[in-house]
Structure 1
Amino acid sequence: MDMTFEVNYGHWLDTQIKNYKGERKRRLIEGHGHAEKLFTEKIWYPAFHDFDGLHAEYEVADFRDGSRFLDFAYLKDGLQLAIEIDGYRTHSAEISRWQFSDSLMRQNHLIVDGWKIIRFSYDDIKEKPRMCQQLLQQFMGKSLLGRKKVSSAEIFLQREVLKHASSLQYHIRPSDVIDLLKIKKRDAQKLLHSMVTKQLLLPAGKGTQRIRCYKINPEQPSSLFVQQ
């Protein structure tokens, strides 16, 4: 058991329970169950190492003038990300046609209101956690890179680049970062440039006008690119 996760998870959940009341508080106490904790333990925390910006059982206005609750919402740096966890039974024959239509319309209205939406099946969270982590990392890379305020997601992306660079038999190139994070060339170049500015990476090769490859700064501690 990862005691660091357990401590941070407990503090994160307790803080939310104390700060809210009504239906959301009830859902946090009674509805935040096995699947939700498994997502935080196997997907979110290994990917970002904190819960900054993540909210459970987040209440949003419903298009029928009521309220709905998202399994998770990430709200930071102007980003609105809804994360939903779906069990198999949610989409099986047990769901009515009205419920199915209502679910689709609910998602459509979230998109109209400016939300990004990522859905995970319980089976993928349990059986393919690394795939789910990478999807979130790639989403954060595309959504948050280039913003003025450095987020925990960007810090993680920098760590991923360092880990990947340490595993290569050659100096890392922008194309390697593009393949790793599934981001555009200009975003990969911005990320690498910011890492050079922070002295995490150093230019490598003979080029002086254009940097074509990079190497890890040997003066940086190795703990920076070892996943905790």
Structure 2
Amino acid sequence: MFEKKYADFWKEQVRGVSGQRLEMLQRDLTGTKKLLEGVLLPVFGSFEELSLEYELVSLSGTKIYGDVCHPQLRLVFEEDHYVTHAEKITRDRFSFERARARSVAVLGYTYFPYSRDELEKKPEFCQRNLYELIGRIGGVEKSGLYHLPVYERELMRFAILRNKPFQLPVACEWLQLKREACRKIIKNLELKDMLYPLGGGSVRCHEFMITEKGASLLYQRT
């Protein structure tokens, strides 16, 4: 079952991709598969919000790649094999890896590496680590969301975790409010550049999507 899901996921990832990222996707991804099978799929339940060989631009201006990324949660996951990342690594490569990790942090992502040995011998422990991280990210007490009015905060939290467009009836379900009340909340968030409309005309739209500014509130600490 996993092999079929992974094959479909990989095909979707390479569709329309070219250049260096395509080369990265076509290399041996055995370690990445172990990461997906042992930790990420059990925790997230699907590959829907994950991206393989996620491309970022480092502080030096070069392209760097994360084994797997959850863009909306700003998490970069790595599988590190001891032989290739420690035992036989050169000094230059060691320095590059440290600079790469710093770039990921400056860009606002959490770098979350696992060793191959952990993935093979202690997958449940690895899963618990990720659950703990998600739990901390999901807390709003010290995040930028905390300063929003309560209904706006809750709508934004649902929208961040959903990571796809949503319609007004869905927002009503989330907040347990009537359509007109939800419409006003969404309008306020649009004015704050937290949501943007998709489809429809100048008066009504069909769906709403969270903006980059809105998503960043979950990771901003106050």
Structure 2 equivalent of residue 100 of structure 1: 94
Q: Indicate yes or no: 2:151 matched with 1:151.
A: no
Structure 1 equivalent of residue 193 of structure 2: none
Distance 1:38 1:93, change over 3 A: closer
Q: Indicate yes or no: 2:68 matched with 1:66.
A: no
Aligned length: 149
Instruction: Give per-residue Cα distances to partners, 1:107-140, cap 9 Å, x unaligned.
Output: 1121111111111000000110001111111111
Q: Indicate yes or no: 2:116 matched with 1:122.
A: yes
Instruction: Give per-residue Cα distances to partners, 1:136-170, cap 9 Å, x unaligned.
Output: 111111113552337379xxxxxxxxxxxxxxxxx
Instruction: Give per-residue Cα distances to partners, 1:51-90, cap 9 Å, x unaligned.
Output: 12211111111222221111111112xx211111111123
Distance 2:23 2:85 in 1: 25
Q: TM-score, normalised by structure 2?
A: 0.61
Distance 1:93 1:126, change over 3 A: closer
Pairwise CA distance, 1:91: 4.0
AA in 1 matched with 2:81 = G
Is the CA contact (8 Å cut-off) linking 2:32 and 2:78 kept in structure 1?
Answer: no
The correspondence for 2:12, drawn from 15, 19, 31, is 15
Distance 1:142 1:39 in 2: 21
Secondary structure at the residue paired with 2:117? helix
Distance 1:86 1:11, change over 3 A: same
Q: What is the Cα-based RMSD across aligned positions, in Å?
A: 2.3
The correspondence for 2:30, drawn from 31, 34, 49, is 34
Query: Structure 2: any 5+ residue segments left out of the alignment?
Result: 141-156, 164-175, 177-222
Secondary structure at the residue paired with 1:19? coil
Q: Indicate yes or no: 2:41 matched with 1:45.
A: yes
Pairwise CA distance, 1:94: 2.0
Distance 1:99 1:13, change over 3 A: same
Q: TM-score, normalised by structure 1?
A: 0.59
Pairwise CA distance, 1:93: 4.3
How does 1:125-144 map onto structure 2 within 5 Å? 125-144=119-138
Secondary structure at the residue paired with 2:15? helix
Distance 1:129 1:152 in 2: 26
Distance 1:151 1:6, change over 3 A: farther
Secondary structure at the residue paired with 1:65? coil
Q: Which moved more, 1:57-66 or 1:124-133?
A: 57-66
Is the CA contact (8 Å cut-off) linking 1:48 and 1:152 kept in structure 2?
Answer: no
The correspondence for 1:24, drawn from 7, 21, 25, is 21
Query: Structure 1: any 5+ residue segments left out of the alignment?
Result: 154-196, 198-228
Distance 2:46 2:162 in 1: 8
